[in-house]
Amino acid sequence: MAKERILVVDDEEDILELVEYNLNKEGYTVVCARSGEEALQIANRVQPDLILLDLMLPGIHGLDVCRELKTSERTSSIPVVMITAKGEDSDIVTGLEVGADDYLTKPFSPKVLLARVRAALRRRKKEDTRKEAPLRVHDLTVDTARHEVFVGEMRIVLTATEFRILHFLAQRPGWVFSRDQIIGAVKGQDYPVTERSVDVQIVGLRKKLGEAGSLIETVRGVGYRFRE
């Protein structure tokens, strides 16, 4: 049975070889890129099932590559897992804010790499097979089949994480959810993300939704809810 195609983007040859070897051993088809420009070209041409993206790249920075991937209709649904030597909260938050789905900090073990790859692919498969009718609340439409959001007739471009958070909250208007519950719902219970990153995603989401952003309410000391 054919395995998924994974694009690995890193300018360090030893990292590329390590990642490619371990993914090939698991049966995945691996395509490599050594720069941001090359990554964007391959992603648009090959349409991989997952992208492992280093942040510190020659030419276009990894964050800009991720931003471009997530704002392009052709590549926005492809999961992106950042690979970076940086482990600070601010770096992680920035990456997630521009649309990354997960992250790995160097050095990492092959077991952790494969676990993150499998989790990201499972999430995408679950989303791809979900055939729900569009969710309509107030003037907002969330279409999971097409991965589209509209406020009235205006299409709103969201990152994959922003989309998941909005859909999760809009499904249950009036229900209050803690940041931990939101993280668990959109990433899985063991996703290593800070509560602050949820706040960053909400701020970005409200900004993109414009006036409709007020539908997402802050419940002080608890978390967030979608207005009834």
Q: How far apart are CA 161 and CA 158, in angstroms?
A: 8
pLDDT exceeds cutoff 50 at 190? no
Query: Which of 78-109 are b and which e, b meaning 16 or more Cβ less than 10 Å from the residue's Cβ?
Result: bbbbbbbeeeeeebbbbbbbbbbbbbbbeeee
Instruction: Give the model confidence (pLDDT) of 89-142 as tens digits.
Output: 677 778 888 888 888 888 889 999 999 899 888 887 766 555 567 888 888 999
pLDDT exceeds cutoff 50 at 176? yes
The whole-number pLDDT of residue 1 equals 44
Mean pLDDT (the chain) is: 86
The whole-number pLDDT of residue 189 equals 46
User: Any idea which of 7-21, 36-50, 89-103, 187-201 has the lowest mean pLDDT?
Assistant: 187-201
Task: Give me the domains of the chain, ranges plus CATH numbers.
Answer: 5-128 (3.40.50.2300), 131-226 (1.10.10.10)
The whole-number pLDDT of residue 95 equals 80
